[in-house]
């Protein structure tokens, strides 16, 4: 009996041991269920620490809710890695030490595990290059935020739209410091300012805080009319411009910002205490 048990369990245990030691590389299989077509895509990608692999695919980008989100157009993005979380204060401090840059002043409510803020676009891009990564394109950002969902909202179930699924946004707690500020009514996420990254549930890809905490720089220049001429495959934005695309919502944003198609923009030299970033990487 004992020898039979050994034969049954010993080989798998050896394989597990070798894998854990790095002798046999583990490859993560990402399985994504597309709700609309009931398809299951299996993609094999080597794991990258702190990032999730977003399988490529085709989706309807944009909406008819605002002129700069129209027209709704078909976009295909190839698979890419995306940081699970916004870049943290601790990660950015390592970058500043390594490259002998000045660490931007962080707000008094922040801490090592909060998203870094007060970083302009060029420094965000410099961090990404230093880390062997890049900033995500606007199309990649929207795809990661909504491609597995039939609508433009963040929540997979419309009945739960105004509950936990929004993460850290401008909620009723913000009224403690800002009276008469636009907030999500009857929603209290418990954070007046930024929250430690990944304080709220991840989306279906395993990405945290796309929908809140701090706004995020994208790689693209902004153009209100770009969707009229956007290429159907891996669009990267206009060749030049005066503003960079900003995506998501933040601790001081709600309303239209809670739409996954919502587009915002700032001059690249801007830096605010509600604006951060995350990185992407090619397969």
Q: Which is nearer to Ca ion, 35 or 112 (CB)?
A: 112
Q: Which is nearer to Ca ion, 191 or 226 (CB)?
A: 191
Please state, in angstroms and rounded to a whole number, the distance separating the CA atoms of residues 22 and 252. 44
For the bound state, the minimum distance from the C-beta of residue 262 to Ca ion, rounded and expressed in Å, comes to: 13
For the bound state, the minimum distance from the C-beta of residue 216 to Ca ion, rounded and expressed in Å, comes to: 5
E-assigned strand segments in the chain: 28-34, 39-45, 51-54, 57-61, 73-77, 80-83, 215-221, 244-247, 264-266, 275-276, 280-282
Mark out the alpha helices in the chain (DSSP H runs).
2-20, 89-99, 121-130, 138-146
Q: Which is nearer to Ca ion, 91 or 230 (CB)?
A: 91
Q: Which is nearer to Ca ion, 235 or 248 (CB)?
A: 248
For the bound state, the minimum distance from the C-beta of residue 232 to Ca ion, rounded and expressed in Å, comes to: 27
Q: What is the β-pairing status of strands 80-83 and 51-54? A: antiparallel
For the bound state, the minimum distance from the C-beta of residue 75 to Ca ion, rounded and expressed in Å, comes to: 21
Contact 125, 135 (CB under 8 A): yes
For the bound state, the minimum distance from the C-beta of residue 2 to Ca ion, rounded and expressed in Å, comes to: 55
| Contacting positions for Ca ion (CB under 5 A) | 168, 171, 189, 191, 209, 213, 248, 251
What one-character DSSP code corresponds to residue 103? P
Q: Which is nearer to Ca ion, 141 or 230 (CB)?
A: 141
For the bound state, the minimum distance from the C-beta of residue 178 to Ca ion, rounded and expressed in Å, comes to: 11
**Residues 6 or more apart whose Cβ sits within 8 Å of residue 218:** 135, 136, 137, 138, 141, 237, 244, 245, 246, 247
Which tokens sit at 37? 């077509």
Q: Which is nearer to Ca ion, 45 or 81 (CB)?
A: 81
């Amino acid at each position: 009996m004992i020898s039979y048990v050994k034969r049954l369990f010993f080989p798998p245990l050896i394989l597990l041991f070798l894998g854990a030691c790095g002798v046999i590389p583990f490859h993560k299989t990402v399985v994504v269920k597309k709700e609309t077509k009931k398809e299951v895509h299996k993609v094999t990608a080597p794991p990258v620490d702190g990032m999730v692999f977003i399988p490529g695919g085709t989706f309807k980008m944009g909406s008819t809710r605002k002129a700069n989100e129209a027209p709704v157009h078909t976009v295909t993005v190839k698979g890419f890695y995306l940081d699970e979380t916004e870049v943290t204060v601790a990660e950015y401090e390592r970058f500043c030490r390594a490259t002998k840059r000045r660490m931007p002043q962080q707000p008094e409510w922040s801490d090592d595990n909060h998203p870094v803020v007060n970083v302009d676009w060029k420094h965000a891009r410099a961090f990404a290059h230093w880390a062997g990564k890049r900033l995500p394109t606007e199309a990649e950002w929207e795809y990661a935020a909504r491609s597995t969902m039939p609508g433009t909202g963040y929540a997979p179930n419309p009945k739960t739209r105004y509950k936990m699924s929004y993460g850290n946004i401008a909620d009723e707690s913000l009224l403690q410091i800002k009276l008469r500020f636009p907030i999500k009514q009857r929603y209290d996420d418990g954070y007046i300012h930024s929250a430690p990254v990944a304080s709220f549930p991840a989306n279906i890809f395993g990405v945290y805080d796309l929908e809140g905490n701090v706004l995020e720089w994208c790689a693209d220049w902004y153009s209100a009319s770009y969707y009229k001429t956007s290429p159907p495959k891996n669009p990267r934005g206009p060749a030049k411009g005066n503003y960079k695309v900003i995506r998501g919502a933040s601790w001081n944003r709600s309303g239209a910002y809670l739409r996954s198609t919502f587009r915002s923009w700032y001059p690249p030299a801007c830096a605010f205490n509600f604006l951060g970033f995350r990185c992407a990487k090619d397969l």
